[in-house]
Structures are given as structure tokens and as C-alpha cells.
């Protein structure tokens, strides 16, 4: 099979985990925790990274294999990466830095490249947006550059792009797929919260109130002031979608705890009524490594988008977006979304 040629916007922890995951799969085989080892005839090691963009000194100008381990990245090392022959290129800063990251990231002094031209030169067919959650203007700017370069776009950030009908139409008119927004982790708090609530509702339990709170030491948590409202809205809508009646729901990231490093603590609380009108409460604490949690889902998404290319599908691809993202154009129950995705990749 030909390689799936992928470009990365942002070479942070999620990019590090994604690149490593391809080589982890290559060397470890089926011992990966992947639900879908093969999608459309493609395995994860059919993914080839051909371009990458960042702004940080110590990453720009370096081979991607080195840049993914450069400070302030702290994603755990799970694989040895050979030299990839992909130089990290300088993109625009725009709103890519917040108060915290300005103190730990030196912006590279080299000139910005023409992003659309460099994407074209690389031969990339799919671009993954892994910018910080608060970099809304930069995400929108890059989406336009990706359109100019005629590539598919995967928006892993909470910036509303793929689920915006105007962006979907632009990609559709260009014959290109777009998926997003706001990637769900493999075992993230939103996924776990939805699973528990769906199971309770199916058992006839009446949900009274529920909340989900996250704290972490990664750059997304450090960006909380800029993304708080958007993340809370997206997470809350995702949780509300599995309860067929109106109840008080609060869900969102709440604080940055630097010493957690790349780990994230999530707290879930559910109260309700069981048979006989008797009350119950559920409390759950989930602790995970943040960025590696995203990698297996991104492996599925990238290969799913390649399937969309081969099928000639364009615009917002709901089977992929509903399966892998918190804010697709239409939020579906987990089991329905997974079934839709499986039918799509099997066809």
C-alpha cells in the first residue's frame, strides 16, 4: 500500500505522541491497545510524516525526530525514532502563545515560510492541526492555508472549524475531507463520563445532576484562561447528548497544575434516583498521561480520512467526526457513532 502522507501543525506533546505511536506500532506489532489495527487496508506504520510547522527555538530547523523531544515537550518516550528527513519549519506566531508558554518558549528568529507552498512541496495529503487550544486565530489561518494547498484537514483543537457549515462547504467545494472538532482521548474523561451515563440511562436510572472537572500539567491546561468557555461548552454539550432529558450538567477543564507534567486528573460525579426513588452517587477519579491518550484515536482518524479520500468523499465526514471528536457537526451516542465509523471504514 502507498504511504499516507501527513503534515503536522504544532510539534508539541500530542505531535510527539503521534509520531512515536507510528514507530511503537511498527516495532511492537499488535501489542498496541489499538481497536482497529487495520483500516481501509492501512496499518499505523503506513503513515509517513512529510512536513511540520512550529515557532519554538529548539524545534524549528531540527529534524522532526529530534524536535518532538525538545523542551518544553514532556510526553513519555515510548519508541525510538529514526531520523525522518523532515525539517520543522517556522510558522506564524499569531495567538499561539499564552502568558505561561511565553515564559518557557523562545520564538525562533528565522523567517516564516510560505505554509501553503511548503505543504504542496512536501506532497502531504492530510494535515493535522495540533496547535494549543487557545490559538483560535492561528488555527483558522492554517485551515485556510491547508485549503490553498489542497489537503484534507484534521482539527484536533476546540476551535470550531470542521463543524462550521461554512468551512465544511469550502472543503466540499474543493473536493477535500475535513474532520473535527476537539479530539476525544482513548480513555479521556468525556468518553468515560458518556459511557457511564449511557449505561445508567439504559438501565432505567434517572440522572439528577452530574459534573466533570479536569486538571493537568500540559499546555492545554496551561491555556485554560483562553479556552475555558469553549471547552466547557463543548464538553457540556457532549455529556448532555447522552441524557434524553434536561438535567444540570457541568463539564470542563478547571486549572493548570504544573507539577503534574504530562499527566491529567479528571473527576466525575453523578447523582440520581434508582428504583423506588432511592438516591445514589458515583464518584470517579481518572489519572492518565495526557498526550499519549490522543495518539491511538488520531491513528484511526488519519487512516479514516485516507479512506474518505479513496472514496471521493469531501466536506465534513460525519462517521469519522462523530466517532473521534467531542464536537462534530452532529453529536451521536457513542455506540451509534462507533457503528457508523465501522460501517464507513468497511465499505
Model pLDDT for residues 58-106, shown as the tens digit of each residue:
999 999 999 999 999 999 999 999 999 999 999 999 997 877 777 778 9
Q: What is the mean pLDDT of residues 24-48?
A: 87
Q: What is the mean pLDDT of residues 110-120?
A: 98
CA distances from 61 to 5, 38, 133, 231, 246 (A): 20, 34, 24, 33, 52
| 282 touches 301 (CB < 8 A) | no
pTM attached to this predicted model = 0.91
Per residue in 303-334, pLDDT (tens digit) is: 999 999 999 999 999 999 999 999 999 999 88
Q: Which phi and psi angles does 182 have, rounded to 5°?
A: 65, 90
Q: What is the DSSP string of 7-69?
A: EEE--SHHHHHHHHHHHHHHHHTTTT--S-S-BTTB-GGGEEEEEEEE-BTTTTTSBHHHHTT
Kindly state the percentage of the chain with pLDDT values over 90: 78
Q: Does residue 13 carry a pLDDT above 90?
A: yes
Cell matching residue 318: 460525519
Chain length of the chain = 347
Pairing type for strands 126-129 and 315-316 reads unpaired
Q: What is the mean pLDDT of the chain?
A: 93
Per residue in 271-306, pLDDT (tens digit) is: 999 999 999 999 999 999 888 889 999 999 999 999
Architecture of domain 4-184+292-346: 3-Layer(aba) Sandwich (3.40)
- State the Cα–Cα distance between residues 196 and 179, nearest whole angstrom: 26
For the domain covering 189-290, report its CATH number.
3.30.360.10
Q: Dihedral through CA 163, CA 164, CA 169, CA 171, nearest 10?
A: -60
Domain ranges of the chain: 4-184+292-346, 189-290
Helix or strand or coil: residue 77?
A: coil
- State the Cα–Cα distance between residues 46 and 3, nearest whole angstrom: 5
Element (H, E) at 115: helix 115-122
Amino acid at each position: 500500500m502507498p504511504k499516507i502522507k501527513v503534515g503536522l501543525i504544532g510539534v508539541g506533546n500530542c505531535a510527539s505522541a503521534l509520531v512515536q505511536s507510528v514507530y511503537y506500532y511498527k516495532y511492537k506489532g499488535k501489542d498496541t491497545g489499538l481497536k482497529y489495527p487495520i483500516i481501509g487496508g492501512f496499518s499505523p506504520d503506513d503513515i509517513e510524516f512529510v512536513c511540520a510547522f512550529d515557532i519554538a527555538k529548539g524545534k524549528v530547523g531540527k529534524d522532526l525526530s529530534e524536535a518532538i523531544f525538545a523542551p518544553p515537550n514532556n510526553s513519555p518516550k515510548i519508541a525510538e525514532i529514526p531520523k525522518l528527513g523532515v525539517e520543522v519549519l517556522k510558522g506564524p506566531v499569531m495567538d499561539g502563545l499564552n502568558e505561561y508558554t511565553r515564559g518557557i518558549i523562545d520564538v525562533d528568529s528565522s523567517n516564516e515560510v510560505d505554509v501553503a507552498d511548503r505543504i504542496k512541496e512536501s506532497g502531504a495529503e492530510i494535515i493535522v492541526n495540533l496547535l494549543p487550544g487557545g490559538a483560535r486565530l492561528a488555527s483558522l489561518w492554517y485551515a485556510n492555508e491547508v485549503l490553498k494547498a489542497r489537503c484534507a484537514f484534521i482539527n484536533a483543537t476546540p476551535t470550531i472549524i470542521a463543524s462550521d457549515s461554512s468551512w465544511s462547504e469550502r472543503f466540499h467545494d474543493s473536493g477535500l475531507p475535513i474532520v473535527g472538532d476537539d479530539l476525544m482521548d482513548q480513555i479521556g474523561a468525556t468518553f468515560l463520563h458518556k459511557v457511564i451515563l449511557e449505561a445508567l440511562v439504559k438501565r432505567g436510572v434517572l440522572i439528577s445532576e452530574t459534573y466533570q472537572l479536569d486538571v493537568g500539567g500540559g499546555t492545554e491546561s496551561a491555556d485554560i484562561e483562553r479556552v475555558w468557555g469553549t471547552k466547557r461548552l463543548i464538553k457540556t454539550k457532549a455529556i448532555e447528548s447522552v441524557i434524553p432529558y434536561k438535567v444540570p450538567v457541568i463539564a470542563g477543564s478547571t486549572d493548570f497544575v504544573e507539577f503534574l507534567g504530562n499527566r491529567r486528573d479528571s473527576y466525575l460525579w453523578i447523582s440520581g434516583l434508582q428504583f423506588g426513588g432511592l438516591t445514589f452517587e458515583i464518584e470517579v477519579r481518572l489519572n492518565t498521561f495526557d498526550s499519549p491518550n490522543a495518539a491511538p484515536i488520531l491513528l484511526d482518524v488519519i487512516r479514516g480520512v485516507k479512506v474518505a479520500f479513496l472514496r471521493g468523499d469531501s466536506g465534513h465526514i460525519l462517521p469519522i467526526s462523530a466517532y473521534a471528536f467531542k464536537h462534530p457537526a452532529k453529536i451521536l451516542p457513542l455506540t451509534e457513532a462507533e457503528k457508523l465509523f465501522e460501517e464507513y471504514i468497511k465499505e
